[in-house]
Amino acid sequence: MSIQLYNTLTRKKELFKPIEEGKVRFYVCGPTVYNYIHIGNARSSVAFDTIRRYLEYRGYEVNYVSNFTDVDDKIIKAAHNEGTTPEAIADKYIQAFKEDTGAINVKEANVHPRVMNNIPEIIQFVESLIKQGYAYESEGDVYFRTDKFEKYGQLSDQSIQDLLVGASERVDDEFTERKENPLDFALWKATKTDDEISWETPWGAGRPGWHIECSVMATKYLGDTLDIHGGGQDLQFPHHENEIAQSECHTHQTFSNYWMHNGFVTMGSDAEKMSKSLGNFVLLRDLLKEADPMVVRYLLSTVHYRRPLRYDTHALQEAQANVEKIREVLRKLAYRQQDAINEVEGNQEILAAIQQHQTNFVNAMDDDFNAANGVTAILELIKAANQYLEKQTVAVEVLNAFYTVLTELLDVFGLDLVENDLLDEEIQALIEERKAARLAKDYARSDEIRDQLKEQGIILDDTPQGTQWKRVK
């Protein structure tokens, strides 16, 4: 296998070499569960789900871990607003996340660790950093000494001076006074109020900072060194930068060999990033009330993961057209099975062409998971299938080859487009009656039945190979 992926840490494409041959240790930062996810959140889930699926398609055993941040100021605020507990808020939105991402065929992680279930490990991790001199307690908080980690800023390609300037622009006097250095970040936060969720530690009651959780849970479930760590571009700094610093000071090992970051979803003519803070977001579950889940999945999975993804009506319409094109060829491949024969001359030539389309797909996806070129290979395969389906005589072997390869490649993108609808007996009877009317040249009755079926969402297509149908939504 020769997969090349872009490593944010080195800012170049590199040959992927896992720590353990044939296996991948893959960690992706999950959501903070205080609200329903929007399309921008879903883009990250779909991007890394697609990468995971491709690695599995290429024969890797992928141990995929993605956390839920269930201890956070936003969750505490949401609990207060809804008159409930942070645990209840987290449970509610974790379930909603699974429902929404499941609807667009995102596979669940092998492990979905939660902060609340890993507090003892987090406390031990912080204690280790304090003992080694990498962290210090200050008024009940615990901070990481960034000047003790020489590589700080390497992932985000920023100098310490640039980072200091940035830190000065977002000063919080109350907390800056507690720090030895403005760049130091919180590993543990002291409790501010009596009713705040907290745990007891050697340095007082409090709760974890944001960054520490991923280091603890990633190393707990995947070992001290990961193969791949992924997340959105907005997590590159400070979150992932801080993860590297605290993890490598704790274990004295490389935290992750490869870092991958997905691009933003943008909206409007000025391509503004979609985010809750800007108020320009569309909730995934709201979109799914109006759009076919597989159209949404197509839109989110077929743009290169590092590129921005433009969300608008035109993009959805284009995705809808391509999904329908794929569904149509799958219907035709199934329909022609009824008149296909076992032996046809020239099978080897078309089978070789199918294999070439599959190879083109692999070559595209091996190049940093280039989904745009991968889907082009799929559409070329569909074009070849449609040309073959126009033949008067088709072979079972070729139909099966087209169908098998196409569905396998679609599965990499998480696209389940095979229709298993069974026609109602009444609808089937009408189709048969229309066939009889056409044979009797009773075209008025034939047209009447066509219109009647159309009203029920059944569209008929009279082809040289017979009448085919499809259900429209």
CB 86 within 8 A of CB 70: yes
Candidate from 278-292, 336-350, 450-464 with smallest mean pLDDT: 450-464
241 is in an annotated binding site: no
Mean pLDDT of 197-223: 96
Candidate from 1-5, 165-169, 218-222, 267-271 with smallest mean pLDDT: 165-169
How far apart CA 218 and CA 228 sit, in angstroms, is 11
Q: Which domains does the chain have, with CATH numbers?
A: 4-137+209-289 (3.40.50.620), 313-413 (1.20.120.640), 421-471 (no CATH)
Q: How far apart are the first and last CA of the chain?
A: 41
At residue 415, the 3 state secondary structure works out as coil
pLDDT at 319 over 90: yes
Q: Work out the mean pLDDT of the chain and round it to a whole number.
A: 92
How far apart CA 341 and CA 114 sit, in angstroms, is 55
357 is in an annotated binding site: no
Q: What's residue 172's pLDDT?
A: 55
Compute the C-alpha angle 355/360/363, nearest 5°.
125
How far apart CA 370 and CA 413 sit, in angstroms, is 11
pLDDT at 169 over 60: no
How far apart CA 45 and CA 29 sit, in angstroms, is 9
Q: What's residue 192's pLDDT?
A: 86
Rg (CA), the chain: 27
Mean pLDDT of 164-171: 58
Q: What's residue 445's pLDDT?
A: 86
214 is in an annotated binding site: yes
Provide the residue count of the chain: 473
239 is in an annotated binding site: yes
Model-wide pTM > 0.85: yes
- Largest Cα separation within the chain, whole Å, is 92
**Which of 53, 50, 473 is CA-nearest to residue 298?**
50
Compute the C-alpha angle 345/347/350, nearest 5°.
135
Q: What is the pLDDT of residues 440-467, one digit of tens each?
A: 888 888 888 888 888 777 787 777 766 7
Q: What is the pLDDT of residues 238-283, one digit of tens each?
A: 999 999 999 999 999 999 999 999 999 998 766 777 777 677 889 9
How far apart CA 186 and CA 170 sit, in angstroms, is 15
If one counts every other C-beta atom within 10 angstroms of the C-beta of residue 25, the result is 22
CB 225 within 8 A of CB 19: yes
**Can you give 134-148 as a three-state secondary structure string?**
CEEEECCEEEECHHH
Q: What is the pLDDT of residues 79-92, one digit of tens each?
A: 999 999 999 999 99
Compute the C-alpha angle 372/378/379, nearest 5°.
90
Report residue 94 CA to chain centroid gap.
16
Q: What's residue 436's pLDDT?
A: 85
432 is in an annotated binding site: no
Q: What's residue 460's pLDDT?
A: 79
* pLDDT tier for residue 133 given thresholds of 50, 70 and 90: very high
How far apart CA 290 and CA 286 sit, in angstroms, is 7
How far apart CA 35 and CA 94 sit, in angstroms, is 9
Stretch (H or E) spanning 466: strand 466-471
Q: What's residue 124's pLDDT?
A: 98
Candidate from 52-56, 218-222, 230-234, 465-469 with smallest mean pLDDT: 465-469
Would you state the structure tokens that stand for residue 27, as one six-digit string? 């960690």
Highest mean pLDDT among 74-83, 267-276, 355-364: 355-364
Q: What are phi and psi of 2, to 5 degrees?
A: -135, 60
* pLDDT tier for residue 174 given thresholds of 50, 70 and 90: low
pLDDT at 229 over 90: yes
